[in-house]
Amino acid sequence: MRTLFALLALTTLLSACQSAPTPMLPRAAAPVQARSAAAGPIDAQFFNTARDAFRWAEIEARRWDFGARLAKVEGRNVDERGRSMEWQFYFTAIGKDKALMVTSRNSKREVPNTFFGGGLMDLSWRVDSDKALEKAREQGLESFPVISMELDSFLSWDIRSFDGFYRVDARS
């Protein structure tokens, strides 16, 4: 009986401690304007440049294997500022049969390690995607977004666009 009264008192106390419902807030004075489709794509759909997105990917690769080395970088639909909706980073490690793919959208999974060599020297990759596109513009690139950008073990950016194919050295 004593336990029943204790439970009843505890229930009453808990219900009394609950906060009151949040009052309705007044509406904004100015109406929110809808974005027209003719205004172009929403800028927020693009994320970081490849080098900026690489920071998180490298942390995840080190969790997978402390000796993991970058083997390839891929981005699709890259805008004129070198930003992609998703960058994919492939890492290899000595003694592992699989490679690790980490994306800029916070996903990761092991993939077959049949197409990757020994891996890049992470520190020798100096030219980010935005600078690579600037150099490609000097070679004649005009159309954006570019179809794809890839950085592989040869340390060159391979840029494919509707204008053609461009190669930019990623070391200098």
Does the pLDDT value for residue 87 go beyond 70?
yes
Q: Which pLDDT score, from 0 to 100, does residue 27 have?
A: 42
Q: DSSP secondary-structure letter at 86?
A: -
Read off the pTM.
0.70
HSE (CB half, 13 Å, CA atoms) of 112? 2
Distances in Å between the Cα of 121 and the Cα atoms of 98, 104, 107, 116, 124 are: 19, 20, 23, 13, 5
Integer Cα distance of 44 and 30 in angstroms: 23
Q: Angle 39-41-46 (CA atoms, 0-180°, nearest 5)? A: 145
CA–CA separation, 4 vs 151, rounded Å?
69
Query: Which pLDDT belongs to residue 34?
Result: 37
Which one-letter amino acid corresponds to residue 124?
A: S
Q: What is the mean pLDDT of residues 56-73?
A: 92
pLDDT at residue 12, rounded to an integer: 53
